[in-house]
């Protein structure tokens, strides 16, 4: 538990605790304000380098496409985006956010996304 004033649990920001847990956590799931989620996404983007996680190369003869069409990314950080509910069908386009592969609808494709699916620099 984290509160800014320390009335319950840790005093400060949840970001103060992330380094304590990221080394042993297989996955992180977060919900909160857009600035908090953006800060978590920036931290998660550098996680592999900080922890010394190696990237294995592709084997010869393997397919070059990383994932089949229509499948979602699954990374270490999953985020649930805050959004107002409009039509809840995706037709009003009121819940659009920028994804790395183009616009995505929070009410249809989300509200949970892999942090790597979103273009964070455009949400600031």
The pLDDT tens digits along the chain (124 residues) read: 888 898 998 999 888 888 888 888 888 889 888 898 999 988 888 887 777 765 555 566 655 555 555 556 678 889 998 877 777 777 887 888 899 989 988 888 888 999 989 998 755 5
- The answer to whether the beta carbons of residues 98 and 118 sit under 8 Å apart is yes
Half-sphere exposure in the Cβ direction for 102 (13 Å, CA)? 1
Q: What is the pTM of this model?
A: 0.71
| Predicted pLDDT at 7 | 93
Q: Is the link from the previous residue into 111 a cis peptide, with omega within 30 of 0?
A: yes
Question: Rounded CA gap, 22 and 46, in Å?
Answer: 11
> Contact, 80 vs 101, CB < 8 A?
no
Rounded Cα distance, 86 and 106, in Å: 11
């Amino acid at each position: 538990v984290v509160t800014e004033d320390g009335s319950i649990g840790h005093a400060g920001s949840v970001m103060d605790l992330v380094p304590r847990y990221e080394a042993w956590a297989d996955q992180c799931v977060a919900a909160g304000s857009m600035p908090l989620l953006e800060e978590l996404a920036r931290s998660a983007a550098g996680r592999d380098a900080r922890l010394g996680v190696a990237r294995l190369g592709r084997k010869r003869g393997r397919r070059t496409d990383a994932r089949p069409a229509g499948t979602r990314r699954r990374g270490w950080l999953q985020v649930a985006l805050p959004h107002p509910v409009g039509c809840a069908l995706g037709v009003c386009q009121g819940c659009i956010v920028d994804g790395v592969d183009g616009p995505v609808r929070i009410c249809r494709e989300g509200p949970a996304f892999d942090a790597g699916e979103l273009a964070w620099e455009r949400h600031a």
